[in-house]
């Protein structure tokens, strides 16, 4: 088989193996946050940050949910990184946003944060702050051993079909999962154009 055939076969297998119950728990939790007047904050870095930006739009437009991605404001993000450091950038942003127990965090990340390896520590600090405030935590990640999967109220861990394709499949399935959520009957309030 060609690379493209192999890659698509892996994606098809992942789609069949993904934890649909975890997605349903996320939909229920997000619906409760919205009905309780809470907000949704999407955290991610790299390609996952791009996914956060797109998903923020969809949750706002299609679900009528107040949603934000700290990475959308590059000026504030880089000022905080410059003045306060990378590790605390999300925690400090959430503090300024007055995160509360009515709100939720949705993390898109391949690893989900790993303190021992010093990877995505900014996600860990953001989630630690969220936990201290009693906010709900959700995630779509590629590692069940990462911090997000360990502390989330509901997390979708994208199954590994090929260890060499963990990153591309995880970031691709972040989009599949959030589109499933924003089209979920518990959440969708506005129809898509097409």
Domain for residue 111, yes or no? yes
**How large is the average pLDDT for residues 16-27?**
98
Quote the distance between the C-alpha of residue 168 and its chain's center.
Answer: 15
Domain coverage including residue 49: 38-182
Residue 29 in any domain: the answer is no
Task: Judge whether 10 lies within some domain.
Answer: no
> Are the beta carbons of 103 and 40 closer than 8 angstroms?
yes
Residue 83 domain-assigned (yes or no):
yes
What contacts 132, CB < 8 A, 6 or more positions away?
Answer: none
Residue 30 lies in a domain: no
Q: How many domains does the chain have?
A: 1
Q: Would you say residue 15 lies in a domain?
A: no
Task: Give residue 126's pLDDT.
Answer: 98
Q: What is the CATH number of the domain that holds 64?
A: 3.40.50.10490
Instruction: Report yes or no on 59 lying in a domain.
Output: yes
Q: What DSSP string describes 93-139? A: HHHHTT--TT-EEEEEESS--BTTTTBSHHHHHHHHHHHHHT-EEEE
Mean pLDDT value of segment 120-139: 98
Q: What is the pLDDT of residues 63-85, one digit of tens each?
A: 999 999 999 999 999 999 999 99
- Residue range 46-60: mean pLDDT, rounded: 97
Q: Which residue, 116, 105, 121, 118, is CA-closest to 155?
A: 105
Residue 12 is assigned to a structural domain of this protein: no
Compute the distance between CA of residue 163 and CA of residue 148 in angstroms, rounded to an integer. Answer: 20
């Amino acid at each position: 088989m060609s690379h493209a055939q192999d890659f698509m076969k892996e994606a098809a297998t992942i789609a069949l193996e993904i934890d649909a119950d975890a997605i349903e728990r996320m939909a229920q939790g997000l619906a409760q946050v919205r009905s309780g007047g809470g907000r949704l904050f999407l955290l991610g870095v790299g390609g996952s940050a791009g996914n956060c930006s797109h998903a923020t739009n969809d949750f706002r437009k299609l679900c009528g949910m107040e949603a934000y991605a700290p990475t959308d404001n590059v000026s504030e993000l880089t000022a905080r990184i410059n003045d306060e450091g990378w590790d605390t950038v999300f925690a400090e942003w959430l503090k300024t946003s007055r995160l509360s127990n009515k709100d939720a965090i949705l993390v898109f990340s391949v690893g989900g944060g790993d303190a021992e390896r010093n990877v995505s520590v900014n996600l860990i600090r953001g989630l630690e702050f969220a936990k201290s405030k009693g906010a709900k935590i959700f995630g779509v990640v590629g590692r069940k051993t990462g911090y997000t999967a360990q502390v989330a109220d509901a997390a979708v861990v994208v199954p590994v079909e090929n260890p060499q394709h963990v990153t591309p499949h995880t970031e691709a399935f972040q989009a599949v999962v959030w589109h499933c959520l924003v089209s979920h009957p518990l959440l969708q309030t506005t129809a898509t154009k097409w």
